Amino acid sequence: MQAVLTPVQMRELEERYMREYGVLSLDLMERAAQEVSASCLELAGDKGRTAAFVCGRGGNGGDGFAAARLYAQIGGRSIVIPLYGTDSLSPDARVNCERARGEAGVAFVDPDALDRLETPAVWVDAVFGIGYGRELDRLCARVFRRMEVDRAAGSPVLSVDIPSGLNGLTGRADSHAVRADRTLTFECPKPGHFLGDGLDLTGELVTAPLGIPGELLPPDALLHYTPAQALAELPLRPRNSHKGQYGHLLIVAGSRGMAGAAQLCAMAALASGAGLVTLAVPTSLLPILQIGVPCAMAVPLPEAGGVLSQEAVPLLEKAMEGKNAVAIGPGLGRADQEVVGCVLRSGLPTVLDADALNLMARHGELRDLLSRRHLITPHPGEAARLLGAPVTSPLEALERLLGFGAAAVLKGASCLMGGEGTYIRTCGSSGMAKGGSGDVLTGMIGALLAQGLSTGKAARIGAAIHGRAGEIAARRMGEMAMTPLDMIASLGEAWTVD
């Protein structure tokens, strides 16, 4: 699996490499610049075409100055725009700036002359690196607007390490951030490439090696997790088997007006390998769900005002007997808190989502019952309610969620998963941004738990295949038209090894 390093981890990795292997920072910058100039040549199309390098003060700018020199040496024509002048450059950036000035084929242009600048074949954004997290100033906004105008007219933008204005940790972007056609990052991707605005601003992500030995990578690094890796972790299903070998999942879900959430969850569980599925639902939903999910059994439970009442608890405790796992929350509404409490105390592997999480947020004593046998799957809004603070950094939020003692999936366009290591899955489609998609994931994870997978493994496998199903459904139906039902219909292919 590919490591995804935070800005802090990347700086520490480079410093350790230089210290232990006697590599100079200028030499490391030269390696990076060689990759940038080669990528620039590829985007420009042929030798002799003009590339405009917008360079900042620090290491990112130093990469840009060095790449401009190297690009000229291989036959290109380089225009260098030192965005903040050359008086306040970092030591390495200053050295490479002077080297570039001494190279034929490199011309320096003041940012004030931007309006008179010819349209280059390619723009190179080498202004800010992965640690940038401030608001962009007016000068940046003006230069980046020009880059975007030319980009729209056909001049691709190559960002060095990360698009300037995009936070390398959180994926949050300034409103004037660079939109790249390609981002060339070094050694490892960064979380910001995959989170939030990074998914739209990064463009094609290319990871270039710098020669740092893999043994130096931090052992606790975030790992990029793919559907292929998920399928490789699935246990084999022998031909000589029966339904009892694949677990019995109890789904506690539904309320008046929210029967669909329970149905989607059960359908996804059945399409994800569970041998038996039983729905524990308010009595009034029984006719709907027995018709909607004929392959599932159902247990009617007492309700009050359309949601499960406290009187449901003894019957729910009995319903959990003989089950292998529980999924609770989809469409549950404001059910009695003890409905969640008795499930958490049962000792059964349990995935909690939606209204189960909202009940936990309102009743903190429920959070105290969480353990490694439990898995929570909040979206950022639900996570904010659980944590008592908005989610500004998904990775930090995941760490805090894991502090409750359960495995966790923090949902989003890219999902973060934790429990046995931390992982990120980046597959999926915008068509998944519809009500019910989370209910599908809950059913999938519940089915994996019922089949005996650990909470950490169920989290990462379920999230990865969920994303793959979203991509398959988008190809079949289009992102605008697809629904969670299309995702369920795509699970047959999603669970199949190519």
Distance CA 305, CA 332 (A): 12
- Do residues 294 and 277 make contact, with C-beta atoms less than 8 angstroms apart? no
pLDDT the model gives residue 286:
96
Residue with tokens 């610049």: 33
Roughly how many angstroms between the first and final C-alpha of the chain, as a whole number? 19
SS3 473: helix
pLDDT the model gives residue 497:
87
The residue type at 394: P
Total-model pTM:
0.95
Fold of 2-219: Rossmann fold (3.40.50)
Residue with tokens 């490591």: 3
Give me the phi and psi of 464, to 5 degrees please: -65, -45
pLDDT the model gives residue 352:
98
Element (H, E) at 259: helix 259-270
Residue 123, beta-bridge partner list: 52, 157
| Upper half-sphere CA count for residue 183 (Cβ side, 13 Å) | 30
Distance CA 470, CA 483 (A): 9
- Concatenate the DSSP letters of all residues of 29-76 into one string: HHHHHHHHHHHHHHHH-STT-EEEEEE-SSHHHHHHHHHHHHHHHTT-
Give me the phi and psi of 77, to 5 degrees please: -115, 120
- Most distant pair of Cα atoms in the chain: their distance: 84
In the chain, DSSP finds a helix count (H) and a strand count (E) of 20, 20
pLDDT the model gives residue 134:
78
Token reading at 308: 């499960």
- Do residues 409 and 450 make contact, with C-beta atoms less than 8 angstroms apart? no
Write out 366-404 in H/E/C secondary structure.
Answer: HHCCCCCCEEECCCHHHHHHHHCCCCCCHHHHHHHHHCC
Token reading at 496: 């199949």
Give me the phi and psi of 267, to 5 degrees please: -65, -40
CB atoms within 10 A of CB 118: 10
What are the residue ranges spanned by the domains of the chain? Answer: 2-219, 227-494
Distance CA 166, CA 140 (A): 13
- Do residues 158 and 39 make contact, with C-beta atoms less than 8 angstroms apart? yes
In this structure, what is the dihedral angle of CA atoms 378, 168, 140, 138, given to the nearest 10 degrees? 40
How would you classify the pairing of strands 2-4 and 222-224? antiparallel
The residue type at 43: L
- Do residues 439 and 265 make contact, with C-beta atoms less than 8 angstroms apart? yes
In the chain (498 residues long), the average pLDDT of successive 10-residue segments reads 96 97 96 96 84 96 98 94 94 97 94 90 96 87 96 96 97 96 98 97 97 95 98 95 97 98 98 98 97 97 97 98 98 97 98 98 97 98 97 97 98 97 98 98 98 98 98 98 98 94
Q: Which of 221, 218, 166 is nearest to 194 (CA)?
A: 166
Beta strands (DSSP E) in 172-296 are: 182-186, 204-208, 222-224, 248-252, 276-282
Fold of 227-494: UDP-N-acetylmuramoyl-L-alanine:D-glutamate ligase (3.40.1190)
In sequence order, the 6+-apart residues with CB closer than 8 A to the CB of 400 are 387
